[in-house]
Amino acid sequence: MKTEKGRQSSVFRGRLFLLLVVLAYLVLAWYNAPAAFHALRRGGLLLLRLLPVFAVVIGLIATVNYFLRPALIVRWLGRESGLRGWLLALLAGVISHGPMYAWYPMVRDLRSHGGRDGLVVVFLFARCIKVPLLPIMVDSFGLRFTLVLSGYILAGALVQGWLMERIQRN
């Protein structure tokens, strides 16, 4: 949890970054106005394309926060979760989409509520399998290769999670 001082520092860094970006655009506009407007236009179009993705991610996080209470998460992914926790971490990693940094706050919250670090590692490692890309992989490399590689990735995720827990015990 951030302290008030940490939160103020974070807000200041965000505003400082925004100020530096605005200054960079002003300098670019001073020297080459068409390039600056072109960059602003492309950035705006990219933002418009990303807004639906942001809305879905925020909606998913809000839904998860509403329905999954910390006690339930700890029971499923906590110290005593057992085999079910490992399998849920694998499944969640495989079906999760979007950029990795979007998942970091949720993973941090999971850890702060008693989630096992080994299961976090399994989740992050299992994200290497991208379900929407599997048909392309099958088409490019064949079904057997895709299944074997996916199996190795899942096994590797479990090994990495197990190793993390062994290292933390020592």
Domain residue ranges in the chain:
71-170
**Contact assessment for residue 93 and residue 157, using Cβ atoms and an 8 Å cutoff:** yes
Q: Per-residue confidence at 166, pLDDT binned at 50, 70, 90? A: very high
Check: pTM over 0.75? Answer yes or no: no
**Contact assessment for residue 29 and residue 36, using Cβ atoms and an 8 Å cutoff:** yes
Let me know how many helices (H) and strands (E) the chain has, helices first.
Answer: 8, 0
Dump pLDDT digits (tens) for 51-77.
887 787 678 767 766 776 656 666 676
